[in-house]
Homo-oligomer: A and B are copies of this chain.
Amino acid sequence: MTFSAATSVTGRGDGSYAAEIEPGWDIFGVTNGGLLLALAGRAMTEESGRQLVSVTGRFVNPVSSGPVEIGIETLKEGFSLTTLRGMMSTGDRPLVTFSGSLSGTATARASAVMTHGEPPPLPPPEECPRLLPAGDAPLPPPFAGKVECRLHPDDTTLGQDRPGPPQVRGWFRLTDGELLDPLGLVLASDGFPPAIFFSTLPIGWTPTVDLTVHIRDPGPYEWVSCRFTTRFVDGGWLEEDGEMWSQEGRLVAQSRQLALVPR
């Protein structure tokens, strides 16, 4: 099943949408946060007829697969930005509360460009090993089979003792020849193993508390090169910052999530 089919929603014309979480997009049996946020983004995109610029999801309860309801409220339809908020739930059980800003125009309000950063240095995709589900072990998870995530050859060994902040770098694309649009970039932002898996910190369930994705250029893209970094683990929390770059070397999206540190 393609990503766009897995994130399709059926609107009822009153801001409410029905959707189905397909099996297999999970990690430890819990559906990937990026997929849920992309589903929320799909509903906001359809509701507004605009393109996603910024989305935040706060994850309330875990969900495996099955039907969900998405309720959207349009808070403001502005000239440059439309603002919405919404809730994804199953029955009385809230799953994700989210909000988003969507743009109606591809014309930037200001033309200034400044870049202090570089795409991760990556060999071509075919020289980066693809992450594939383990099948009979929890990691890599079933989710890995739903996307094409190719890791930097130096970032394939879990539990490495390396200098510098924990990071994971690699290429990301959708399967079935689908291109990455803003919703695909939301998926990419939570589509890699946690950066801390490539450090000496404990490896385990790293639940996302909140995830924000900012889209700088809607694309579409076949491949994006990605870098995820965690600089601070403290108080039981960690942040993971993501950058997604086009093959032409332009930053096209940024993400940050707060997650619980595995025990």
Task: Tell me the A residues contacting B by CB distance below 8 Å.
Answer: 53-54, 56, 58, 60-61, 75-76, 80-81, 83, 85, 87, 94, 97, 99-101, 108-117, 164-166, 199, 201-202, 209-210, 212, 214, 216-217, 230-237, 239, 250-251, 254, 256, 258, 260-263
Contact = CB atoms under 8 A, between A and B. Distances in A.
Which residue among A94, A100, A236 has the maximum number of chain B CB atoms within 10 Å of its CB? A236
A85 B99 CA distance: 10
Contact of A75 (B53, B97, B111, B166): B97
Q: Which 8 residue pairs across A and B have the least CB separation, nearest first?
A: A108-B236, A110-B261, A116-B165, A114-B233, A109-B236, A116-B231, A216-B235, A58-B99
Contacts of A94: 75-76, 83
Contacts of A99: 56, 58, 97, 99, 210
Given A110-B261, A232-B254, 17 more contacts: A58-B83, A58-B100, A60-B83, A75-B97, A76-B94, A109-B236, A112-B201, A112-B233, A114-B166, A115-B232, A115-B233, A212-B256, A216-B234, A216-B235, A217-B234, A217-B235, A256-B256
A109 B109 CA distance: 44
Nearest to A214: B258
A109 B261 contact: yes
Contacts of A165: 116
14 contacts: A54-B210, A56-B99, A58-B85, A60-B76, A109-B260, A112-B201, A112-B202, A114-B201, A114-B234, A115-B231, A212-B212, A212-B256, A216-B232, A217-B235
Contacts of A256: 212, 256
A164 B116 CA distance: 7
Nearest to A117: B231
A112 B76 contact: no
Contacts of A110: 202, 236, 260-263
A54 B58 CA distance: 10
A138 to B, nearest CB: 19
A117 to B, nearest CB: 5
A113 B236 CA distance: 8
Nearest to A115: B232
B108 A235 contact: yes
Nearest to A231: B116
